[in-house]
Amino acid sequence: MARKTTKELILDAAMQVFATKEFHVATLGEICEIAGANCAAGNYHFGSKEALLNEAISHAFEIADSRYPLSGGVDASAAPEDRLRAFMAAIISRSFDPGPAGYFERIIGHVLSSSSGERDEAFSKIREAHEDVLLPLLSEMIEFRDEAQRAQAGTAIIALCVFQNVAPGCREDLFPDGPEGEPLQHYIEDRTRFALAGLSAYPPAKLPCVK
């Protein structure tokens, strides 16, 4: 593997910094310093800090999605419960991955929380996952009163998966001894069971295959 270009080094550093800090707190200076580059290099290669963030989001998404696809390796014909479990496990696993595969969810956490409607492009990726994957899945499991109720159930699932990204202050509470290995597996297990049990509070869908 050839030595990384300055542009790549800056993108890596940007993902790392934007995963840690809110947009206005992160500085190009810090990013370029980590990348070992001159502070003008960020703008030279990406045009602006804003554009750099967008690139960082896109790149981080590719890494996260290939390492932890939302299907979780579970077949589309599997039971909806199993697919939901895999979906949640993928998002949670991403969130606690200390390496580049963890950047996307954490960057999005910061972006989500300071969003004021713009940055639609960045959201399209999660909106897609939400509307194309999660909501239909929920419909398979539950007979919702209306669209609003389904959307609310959807945000409940998402909240259970990503709260620590969006409220980073609670990360330490979750894993006093660090989120490696077994504790994380326990956590994923508990969260998905919690979510599935929570969903059982809604009336189950009349399954077409029931005789």
Partner DNA sequence: TCTAATTTCAAATTCTCATTTGAAATTACA
Partner DNA sequence: TGTAATTTCAAATGAGAATTTGAAATTAGA
**Applying CB under 7 A, which part among 23-31, 87-95, 120-128, 168-176 lies near DNA?**
23-31
Subset of 42-61 contacting DNA (CB under 7 A): 42-45, 48-50
- Which residues, in sequence order, are CB contacts of 4 under 8 Å at separation 6+? 12
**Residue choice 6, 8, 137, 187 for contact with its own copies (CB under 8 A):** 187
As a 3-state breakdown, the chain gives helix, strand, coil percent values, each rounded to 5, of 70, 0, 30
Task: Supply the minimum distance, in Å, between the C-beta of residue 187 and its own copies.
Answer: 6
The residue type at 177: D
Tokens of 14: 């940007």
Q: Residue 204 forms beta bridges with which residues?
A: 142
Rounded CA gap, 105 and 94, in Å? 7
**Residue choice 7, 21, 49, 125 for contact with its own copies (CB under 8 A):** 21
Which CB, 34 or 135, lies closer to its own copies?
A: 135
Please provide the distance, in angstroms rounded to a whole number, between the alpha carbons at the two ends of the chain: 58
Task: Supply the minimum distance, in Å, between the C-beta of residue 179 and its own copies.
Answer: 10
Binding site for DNA (CB under 7 A): 5-7, 26-29, 37-45, 48-50
